[in-house]
Chain A
Amino acid sequence: MTILGDVFRELFGMFVADLRLTLSVLGGVLLVAILMNSAVLGPVAAGFVLALGCVLILVETVLRETRRGK
């Protein structure tokens, strides 16, 4: 049971290294999907927004942790 528990912990940790990063990425993808479905974003613009959004989320996560860890 310990090994199974460790496997699930490992799997969880693979995708949730930082809860806020995970939730922000999922929220960003959901937002792009909604904006695409409501025709606010075209199929090309959505790609740019998705890519830049992910980079901005990464920047915010790293800078927040850097300030907290200083």
Chain B
Amino acid sequence: MSPDFWTALFPAVAAAFLASLVEVVEAFTIVLAVGTTRGWRPAVAGAAAAIVVLGLIVLTLGPALRFIPIRTLQLVVGILLLLFGTGWLRKAVLRWAGVIALHDESAAYAREAADLRSRTGAPRTLRWIAGIAAFKAVLLEGLEVAFIVIAIGAGKGLLWEASLGALAACALVLVLGAALRKPLAQVPENTLKFGVGVMLSAFGVFWTGEGLGVRWPGADLALLPLAALFLLAGIGLAHLARALAAGRPA
């Protein structure tokens, strides 16, 4: 096993897989609503078109980043990952504490299906609207996946590995979704978001530091204590926020 398996390859692929799982489940809910309300042709066509656009974004931007000096790239990608990761961690902690509502796939499915049913017009127009709804859902949810894949891939030259992690999540959701034919409401979305937030925040601090010229003790191994720091802080913060939200002394 390569010496940087646990500090580079595994965290990169795992972060891409888990983040993609969260986003693909949300996109699948909308595509399912389109498919069951207006037929599977516009649903599949819209989703496929969005996947092609996302693939082009990754294939164009990913290799292009090699032309940027490594320190600049690490700093920019590190800051973006830090903003993205702490943003997800903040949201997951606030949801766990009950300060903001949990994401509800069944409610999202019902909303989208009701919206599509309320539209009137010629069958061809309605199919177009449905296809665009599927396209937009997959494109918007996929943008976050594309960013994570590009950012993680660019930092350590793991673009293909991170892409495979994301594709594995797509395949898993498609297989489960095709079998169940209903929104994947049982997926622990908030726990996944928390875990990905921890990983991306750790990556973000590490690469921002590298870009600034920080010397991390243990080099790449410093990712592990950084992830542990965000994990413990997140868990402690979630308990504290929950107690505060409930009006109990923390």
Contact = CB atoms under 8 A, between A and B. Distances in A.
Interface string B80-93: 10111011111101
Contacts of A70: 99, 244-245, 247
9 contacts: A6-B136, A15-B87, A22-B83, A25-B83, A36-B213, A43-B215, A44-B214, A47-B222, A62-B97
Nearest to A54: B205
B143 to A, nearest CB: 5
Q: Please classify the interface of chain A as helix (H, G, I), strand (E, B), loop, or mixed, using the class held by over half of its residues.
A: helix
Contacts of B84: 14-15
A66 B94 contact: yes
A69 B82 contact: no
Interface of B: 79-80, 82-84, 86-91, 93-94, 97, 99-100, 132, 135-136, 139-140, 143-144, 147, 201, 204-205, 208-209, 212-217, 222, 226, 229-230, 233-234, 237, 240-241, 244-245, 247
Interface in A8-27: 10-11, 14-18, 21-22, 25-26
B147 A58 contact: no
Contacts of A57: 86
B82 A14 contact: no
Interface in A21-55: 21-22, 25-26, 29, 32-33, 36, 43-44, 46-47, 50-51, 54-55
A7 B215 contact: no
A47 B215 contact: yes
Interface of A: 3, 6-7, 10-11, 14-18, 21-22, 25-26, 29, 32-33, 36, 43-44, 46-47, 50-51, 54-55, 57-59, 61-63, 65-67, 69-70
Given A43-B213, A44-B217, A69-B99, A6 B79 contact: no
Contact of B244 (A6, A7, A66): A66
A65 B244 CA distance: 11
Contact of B229 (A14, A36, A55): A55
Contact of B90 (A6, A21, A46): A21
A54 to B, nearest CB: 6
Contacts of A14: 83-84, 87, 143-144, 147
A35 B163 CA distance: 37
B233 A46 contact: no
Nearest to B89: A58
B86 A25 contact: yes
Nearest to B81: A15
A22 B208 CA distance: 14
A33 B211 CA distance: 10
A54 B201 contact: yes
B212 A32 contact: yes
Given A47-B222, A62-B93, A66-B97, A26 B241 contact: no
Q: Looking at B90, B143, B144, B217, which has the most chain A CB atoms within 10 Å of its CB?
A: B90
